Structure 1
Amino acid sequence: MNMVAVVTGGSRGAGKGIAIALGQSGATVYVTGRSQMPDDSPYGGTVAETAALVSEAGGKGIPICIDHSNDEAVAELFARVGRDHGRLDVLVNNAVKVGMTLPGGFWEKPLEAADLITIGLRSHFVASFYAAPLLIANGRGLIVNTGHYGAVAYYHSPVYGAQKAGADKMAADMAKELRPHNVAAVSIWMGGLDTERVRAYIASLPPEARPTAKRESPQFTGRVIAALYASGDLMHYSGRALIGAELGAQFGVTDIDGSTPLSLRYRLGGPPELHASLR
């Protein structure tokens, strides 16, 4: 697939997996993140490492070290994509400022928890703002906000829920304005992911308290995004919040081990069911 994509927040976690999966489809992927050295984060990972894995997977990975609170740097990122390719096919808004999960009420936690609204909601808007002209120039495009059931169920904190719900609404409203240009915008809800951060947290628990349920690989969402873009049916999905496991089942997408991730709709809630809305 001759796709040009930008994946924000790709040093590790979901963004890393999504970028690698898009690379497996043959895409050129601009991977953004702040981590230049492995010890920049306790969980390791750098943009250069992810970009190399994208290339190893069959695509072309291009590392871009960037702080998504810097609007000028974001503008230059998309200006570079424009100079290099003159277009953009897919933007994946995944960069978020994730803090520690601490016990207690929101008023008992550091106020910097609200930074998730800046790097996680505002940054989604800024990236989309600069990406939109390139997507429109392409005549067909897709914006994906990585979402979660926290948009409708309590998860971590009020600010986490606000960020996820806001990203869903932002995608819905962007979709309305982009529809005449054949550019789609969606949120894709991920399940429990097998990431570096999650593995470290589970390892910190007493053995008897460690969850044993199977988790989605970070690559699964990237596989779903690639299938969605290749489907030729983008406008049927545009404006929606979509559960990745349900969308994957519709497209016949499996996880990297061949398993089929399960929707958590009936445990955590969800948007309108996909099959009902597409009748």
Structure 2
Amino acid sequence: MAANLKGKVALVTGASRGIGKGIAIALGEAGALVYITGRSVNQTNSLETISGSLLETKATVENAGGICIAVPVDHSDDEQVKSLFEQIDREQNGQLDLLVNNAFGAVRSLISSNGKPFWEADLSLWDACNQVGLRSHYVASHFAAKMMTQRKQGLIVTISSWGGLAPIFGVAYGTGKSACDRLAADMAVELKPFNVASISLWPGIVGTEQFHQLADGNLEDNLGVTAIADKFNWETPLFVGRVIAALCNDPDLMRRTGKVQLAAELAARYGIVDEYEHCPVSLRSLRFLLAQGLPRLKSVAKLIPDLKVPWWMLLLTVLKSPKI
């Protein structure tokens, strides 16, 4: 499915790096006008104070063909978020077609608490996971919905994860991601009469900058990026963004509202590939699950049917294991 978003206005929160950056680039590639946010050092709303990584995202989005407006925003500050939406409302005459809730502030906290049970981790981990995360998604959606319902069109995509289903990074993370899925579902109920969709999106294993740095130093055989992505079924940040761009043009979008959507499964439906012409399979695909459970099958994984394991069966498997 070709993603033509010319004339559309999008906002991607937390777009300095990682998945947010890839999403912003893909939306620009599709021709959208993209607002991006990230934290600046001194939190003043001046372009000169935006971190270099956010400016780099802006330049890359524009090189991909889009128009990009970078705004320094601390998503833990409701007034800054309100000001952001007032700016978009003013500059775009009330138009906002897409909000991608991606900002997340707990990466460092999760790393420092890795391996600790919740009672041994610092109590601040809860707020780190869920203030700039679950709560900030609610706040941004609140302001976006005010604009979208006026025009009776729009899409809110909340980036969640498999942590909403299974214990991955601990109690605080998992509870927040499960709540993100519920947030998207409940917002969809109230937004549906206004023709505004709300979806929770689960990427797979995404090869962000940090992931690549780890891989470069630890993977054997000196595999190239393409071979690594293929062998380990990685999704690139741009791949996730291309899926969202295609989702915006889905004529059956309102049939998907309120549901958890898997990026790889949408990609297969829309015919999306990443920048390396690679299309990862869903993490609930029989191809992926068998190759993980029986490593000797990895070399012939492409011969295994790409069949989806039913949610109920996957949930039974998850409940029998402490982690996935």
Is 1:92–1:146's contact at 8 Å kept on the other side of the alignment? yes
Is 1:87–1:138's contact at 8 Å kept on the other side of the alignment? yes
Is 1:191–1:215's contact at 8 Å kept on the other side of the alignment? yes
Matched, 1:61 2:68: yes
Distance in 2 (CA, whole Å) between partners of 1:239 and 1:270 is: 19
Counterpart of 2:59 (choices 45, 52, 56) is 52
* Residue 104 (structure 1) shift: 2.2
Q: Which residue in the other structure is 2:87 paired with? A: 80
Corresponding residue SS for 1:67: coil
Relative to structure 1, the CA distance from residue 249 to residue 45 in structure 2 (aligned partners, 3 Å threshold; closer, same or farther) is farther
TM-score, normalisation: structure 1: 0.88
Q: How many residues align?
A: 266
Q: Which amino acid aligns with 1:70?
A: D
Q: Which residue in the other structure is 2:78 paired with? A: 71
* Residue 136 (structure 1) shift: 1.5
Q: Which moved more, 1:60-69 or 1:28-37?
A: 28-37
TM-score, normalisation: structure 2: 0.77
Is 2:75–2:132's contact at 8 Å kept on the other side of the alignment? yes
Corresponding residue SS for 1:145: strand
Counterpart of 2:130 (choices 91, 99, 117) is 117
Relative to structure 1, the CA distance from residue 237 to residue 198 in structure 2 (aligned partners, 3 Å threshold; closer, same or farther) is same
Counterpart of 1:242 (choices 254, 261, 271) is 261
Corresponding residue SS for 2:58: helix
Amino-acid identity (%): 44
Distance in 1 (CA, whole Å) between partners of 2:84 and 2:196 is: 20
* Residue 244 (structure 1) shift: 0.6
Is 1:121–1:167's contact at 8 Å kept on the other side of the alignment? yes
Q: Which residue in the other structure is 2:160 paired with? A: 147
Relative to structure 1, the CA distance from residue 270 to residue 17 in structure 2 (aligned partners, 3 Å threshold; closer, same or farther) is farther
Relative to structure 1, the CA distance from residue 271 to residue 7 in structure 2 (aligned partners, 3 Å threshold; closer, same or farther) is farther
Is 1:93–1:144's contact at 8 Å kept on the other side of the alignment? yes
The CA deviation string for residues 163-198 of structure 1, in whole angstroms up to 9 with x for no partner, is 111111000000000000000000110011111122
Q: Which residue in the other structure is 2:14 paired with? A: 9
Relative to structure 1, the CA distance from residue 27 to residue 200 in structure 2 (aligned partners, 3 Å threshold; closer, same or farther) is same
Relative to structure 1, the CA distance from residue 236 to residue 271 in structure 2 (aligned partners, 3 Å threshold; closer, same or farther) is farther
Q: Which moved more, 1:240-249 or 1:199-208?
A: 199-208
Q: Which amino acid aligns with 2:279?
A: T
Counterpart of 2:204 (choices 184, 191, 211) is 191
**Greater C-alpha radius of gyration:** 2
* Residue 214 (structure 1) shift: 3.8
* Structure 1 unaligned spans of 5+: 38-43, 274-279
